[in-house]
Amino acid sequence: MTTETNNTIQFTPERLAKAQEIIARYPEGRQKSALLPLLHLLQEQEGWTSPEGMDYVARLLDIQPIEVYEVATFYTMYHLHPVGKHVIEYCRTGPCCLMGGEEVLAHLKQRLGIETGQTTVDGQFTLKEVECLAACGMGPVFQIREKYYMNLTNDRVDEILDELSK
Amino acid sequence: MATKILTEHINVPGIETFDVYRKQGGYTAVEKALKTMTPEAIVEEVKKAGVRGRGGAGFPMGMKWSFLAKPEGVPRYLVCNADESEPGTFKDHYLMKNIPHLLIEGMIISSFALGANKSFIYVRGELMYVIHILEKAIAEATAKGFLGKNILGSGYDLELVVQPGGGAYICGEETALLESLEGKRGNPRNKPPFPAVKGLYQCPTVVNNVESIATTAWIVNNGGDAYAAIGIGRSTGTKLISASGHINKPGVYEIELGVPVEDFIYADEWCGGIRPGHKFKALVAGGSSVPILPANLALTLANGEKRLMSYESLSEGGFQTGTMLGSGGFIVFDETSCIVRNTWNFSRFYHHESCGQCSPCREGTGWMEKVLHRIEYGHGHRHDIDLLVDVARKIEGNTICPLGDAAAWPVASAIRHFRDEFEWHITNPQEATQPGAVYRGEMALV
């Protein structure tokens, strides 16, 4: 069963060209290998991985929508619900906690006025707790898009949020 | 002066660019390999070097290469495992972002040795900025004739593809990685067949870690015997160690294998000692999955000799008194660390990251996390400790992939060495749940 929708999502011409370049990287008949990169491309454009977007990716790859859904729901990096302008992915794992990560997270939640998984009312920030970000020597650490913020303290968190809120 | 195989030039300004890397002697190994060596000769040098897989398992790299099936008319693949996600481990991240051409040079040499014409670097998706660094470096190397068709006029073709993951620790397991690379959920495959026979797209495939592949340029330039002369025993060469926790100088250090653990922790050259005013309580030497050791066992073997940073010495005594070098994720705990809380934290990680394919892992990791949570938060029962040991034992060795073992070992070892701390949490819940409360009973702090 497919769940085709009357969606209007499609990649911008630049992203479509990028998507086609990605698909061409794989051997003939192995275009499904492009699925994870294309979902990243979709999320970069739309802000989240919507069902309509997943259907669109399925059509691009000539695979069933269910094949996209089962992948998107397995990996933690795809946002399956709308998110804020800035998604803060906060490392909650051991080495960061040893360096005060839990205290800084508590401060971050207080400052934003939200709990993990929520978005601020102004739509600016979404807070996600994630597992190890591979920056353990520089913890506590969080990531916003491609940028890592390391050696976090309460003051440093305030500075970052002030800067991003401008 | 200790030999630096991977990091000698890492602080040279601009080393991430082709031109600067080349000025430092980069890509001479590719020239030597493609112009003067046969693939078989390269495999032989890697075997002589005795390199053991740097991702954590420590399997001999040359032997892994020699297992590769070579049927006619079927493509072979090399896949670089850059899905580094083991808590405490960040060496591949450091290597790729700072000196990407070292990995690319290693990929060219290794692909040539294995007869692969298309190779993949599977990078955890969180490191998207590193992916861009690698893609830029690949474009540079291609423009200079070191990738693409007829490399350096040798007749050898190689296309290198960087693949972003989607955020799943299990994709560090080689068959789960291959599933993910095929655009599927990262569920590990049953073995056999091993990837060397049926790997990516059911074709013969070798999966190697970033650090392992990056060593090949040095081995080609200097010879396998020279590499084997570094290190100690069957722990040849150098190893990148990611140091974190309660030390003065966290970071990534390249050591010659065989350095005493004590020196690595206390010497200014490396970790610079435990943070001021505190004492050494425990060590996780090889990433969160390996057994934790109390300070005395971390520094000393049963016979009183110093424990060394090597595969053999760290595992000396089995799991009763030893641990593993693993990925080199070196996490140091001082006396302010609560072992129960840390064990719960690691257990939460493995529960979260279990792919859910095998019942012992899917159910057992959740069960352990739940029991540890209730102990940590003052609701533990007297039988909980034995229950944890029992669940850990029933997970270990009973899953398709090693994630089950990785989840069980931290719990089993924490109870083995710090059982009194768990008991204190259960018998003194009011005290144990006070903010910052840590067990201060009998234990050897250093």
CATH number of the domain that residue A68 is part of: 1.10.10.1590
Q: Determine which of A36, A105, A148 to mutate to test the interface with B (most B C-beta atoms within 10 Å).
A: A36
Q: Where on the phi/psi map is residue A114: left (φ > 0), alpha (ψ -120 to 50), or beta? A: beta
Residue of A nearest to B243 (CA): A137
pLDDT at residue B445, as a whole number: 85
Structure-token pair, residue B415: 């109870």
Q: A58 and A14: one domain?
A: yes
- Distance from A161 to chain B by nearest Cα, in Å? 21
- Chain B residue closest in CA terms to A74: B185
**B49 plus B137 within the same structural domain:** yes
A-chain residues near B331 (CB < 8 A): 94-95, 98, 136
State the residue for tokens 């839990």.
Answer: A102
Q: Whole-angstrom Cα distance, residue B106 to residue B6? A: 11
Would residue A127 count as lying in a domain? yes
The H or E element that residue B19 is part of is helix B18-23
Specify the CATH number for the domain of residue A108.
3.40.30.10
Pair B27, B104 in one domain: yes
In angstroms and rounded to an integer, the radius of gyration of the C-alpha atoms of chain A is: 18
Q: For chain A, which ranges sit under pLDDT 50?
A: 1-4
Confidence (pTM): 0.96
Chain B residue with CA closest to A32: the answer is B183
37-66 of A, contacting B, C-beta below 8 A: 37, 39-40, 61
Contact A132 B181 (CB under 8 A): no
Please list the residues that pair with B281 across neighbouring strands.
none
Chain A residues inside the 8 Å CB shell of B241: none
Contact A149, B255 (CB under 8 A): no
A151 part of contact set with chain B, CB < 8 Å: no
The runs of H, that is alpha helices, within B54-204 are 61-66, 91-98, 100-114, 128-143, 174-181
Distance between CA atoms of residues B213 and B336, nearest Å: 39
% of chain B surpassing 90 pLDDT = 95
Q: Which of A32, A93, A148 sits opposite B183 (nearest CB)?
A: A32
Q: Is residue A139 within 8 angstroms of chain B, CB to CB?
A: yes
CA distances from B204 to B76, B171, B208, B401 (A): 5, 19, 13, 20
Q: Give the pLDDT of residue B317.
A: 93
Measuring CA to CA, how many Å separate B376 from each of A128, B281, B390? 23, 19, 19
Question: Considering the domain boundaries, does residue B408 fall inside one?
Answer: yes
- Half-sphere exposure in the Cβ direction for B311 (13 Å, CA): 22
- pLDDT value of residue B443: 73
**Sheet of A86-91: strands edge to edge?**
A125-130, A86-91, A142-144, A147-149
Closest CA to B265 of B330, B325, B210, B217: B330
Q: Do B87 and A139 touch (CB under 8 A)?
A: no
Same domain, A10 and A48: yes
In a domain, A81, yes or no: no
pLDDT tens digit sequence for B269-319: 999 999 999 999 999 999 999 999 999 999 999 999 999 999 999 999 999
Q: Which of A101-115, A120-134, B348-362, B429-443 has the lowest mean pLDDT?
A: B429-443
| Domain range enclosing A9 | 3-74
Q: Which residues in B lie closer than 8 A to residue A138 (C-beta atoms)?
A: 250
pLDDT in tens, B220-256: 999 999 999 999 999 999 999 999 999 999 999 999 9
DSSP A66: H
Does residue B319 lie in a domain region? yes
Are residues B75 and B202 located together in one domain of the fold? yes
Q: How far is B303 from chain A (nearest CA, A)?
A: 31
Cβ–Cβ gap A131/B87 under 8 Å: yes
Q: What DSSP designation does A32 have?
A: G
Which chain A residues are within 8 Å of B362, Cβ to Cβ?
Answer: none
Domain count, chain B: 3
pLDDT digits (tens, 9 = 90+) for B112-147: 999 999 999 999 999 999 999 999 999 999 999 999
Residue of A nearest to B251 (CA): A137
Of the three residues B308, B334, B360, the one that is the final residue of a domain is B334
pLDDT at B1: 67
Tell me the angle at which helices A35-46 and A51-61 cross, rounded to the nearest 10 degrees: 140
Choose among B129, B201, B353: nearest Cβ to A131: B353
Domain CATH code at residue B119: 3.40.50.11540
Instruction: Verify whether the Cβ–Cβ distance B185 to A71 is below 8 Å.
Output: yes
Question: pLDDT band at B56, cuts 50/70/90?
Answer: confident
Q: Would strands A86-91 and A125-130 be described as parallel, antiparallel, or unpaired?
A: parallel
Instruction: Determine, yes or no, domain membership for A142.
Output: yes
Which chain A residue is nearest to residue B129, measuring alpha carbons?
A146
Q: At what angle do helices B339-353 and B359-376 cross, to 10 degrees?
A: 150
Contact B309, B427 (CB under 8 A): no
Query: How many Å apart are CA B422 and CA B430, to the nearest integer?
Result: 14
Averaged over B32-52, what is the pLDDT? 97
Q: Extract the tokens encoding B99.
A: 């000196």
pLDDT of residue B89 exceeding 60, the answer is yes
Dist. CA A82–CA A51, nearest whole Å: 11
- Provide the residue range defining the domain that includes B288: 241-334
Q: Which of B168, B201, B342 sits opposite A75 (nearest CB)?
A: B168
- Which among B281, B314, B334 is the end of a domain? B334
Same domain, A95 and A149: yes
